[in-house]
Each structure stands twice: as structure tokens, then as C-alpha cells.
Amino acid sequence: MSVQGRITIGVVVERRKAASQWIDYVWQPVSVLPGEPDAEPWTVLSHEADRTIFYAGTTAIDLYKSDSGNYQDNLTSGAPSIWVALRSTDNDPPYRLLAATVDPSEGEAFTEAGNDLIEAVPMPDLIREVVAAFVAENPVERPFFKRKRQRANTEALGRRPPGREDSK
């Protein structure tokens, strides 16, 4: 499947002091910036007592015609989001930017790896407009399938004679 659209974004990550004896910090993607910011990855944007905000880097959101129905669902959800995935590293910085998507199904699939840090962040208006334009240009009709009830097999529900064991 080839990419029909691409949106470049910058990802902003927060590091907070943890209230835990097992870890020092909690990391979390908090927002995205449209385009490619003019900063090096892992640049400190702000620092407070127990909280530091970093620009984590740039990635691209790929758009596919076949997924425009999912993008539309995201846009009409009431809280359009971008799912950001960070992968743990064994050095500094402790995470690397892995991917981002506006497809809710793909965002859920990111969580299947188990060790990645996945967070849904609010979709900025500029990106929302680009995604809405893509959906308008590439509508996907979803066919309605009416399910038919299957009748129960009354023979399978019948009583068995005592002492008889049927194996499957």
C-alpha cells in the first residue's frame, strides 16, 4: 500500500519526577507541532522544579486512502487525537520517537508491542484541517452488512442418555 499523503510533525514530551520508589521519572508525549520545528531532537523547551518539556524530534504521519474512514471517525469523535509511539533505549535520551498516526485502529495496534510508550495527544487545528481535506478528497464508502440470525441446532441441544459421553 503506497502513501497518498504525509504530514510532518514535531513531538513534545514531558518528563515528570515520579512519586515511586521504583522509577525516577515518568515520560509522556504531551503535544505535537505542525511542520518541522527548527530545533535539535531532545532540546529542552522548558524546565520547572519537577517537570521538564523536551522537543523529542520529527516524524511523519502517513495517510492512506483506504483508511480515510478511520480518519473520519477520529475527526468526528469529539476529541480528535494523534497517537504517538516512543520506544525505550538503553542510553540517553531514554526514548526514541518511533511513529505517529491519526488512525485510531493503528494507534491501538501500537500498544500490542507491550514495551513502547503510547499516548494519544490532542490534534492541532492545522493538522485537523489537513486530515479533513484528505478525507474529503478520498471518501470511503462503508457497505452496510445486515447480519442474519442463525437458528440454533435443536439436535445439538437435546438431552443425552445417561452414561453416554460424546467426545468432540
pLDDT tens, residue by residue, 37-66: 899 999 999 999 899 999 999 999 999 999
pLDDT at 168 over 60: no
Question: What is the pLDDT, as a whole number, of residue 123?
Answer: 97
Q: How many CB atoms lie within 10 A of CB 166?
A: 5
The reported pTM is 0.80
Q: Mapped to the 3 state alphabet, what secondary structure does the chain carry?
A: CCCCEEEEEEEEEEEEECCCCCCCEEEEEEEEEECCCCCCCCEEEEECCCEEEEEEEEEEEEECHHHHHHHHHHHCCCCCEEEEEEEECCCCCCEEEEEEECCHHHHHHHHHHCCCEEEEEECCHHHHHHHHHHHHHCCCCCCCCCCCCCCCCCCCCCCCCCCCCCCC
Residues contacting residue 29 through CB under 8 Å, at least 6 positions apart = 11, 12, 13, 14, 56, 84, 86, 117, 119, 121
Pairwise CA distance, residues 48 & 115, whole Å? 28
Domain layout of the chain by residue ranges: 5-137
pLDDT value of position 162? 66
**What does DSSP say about strands 43-47 and 95-101: parallel, antiparallel, or unpaired?**
unpaired
pLDDT in tens, 120-129: 999 999 999 9
Return d(Cα 5, Cα 153) in angstroms, integer: 50
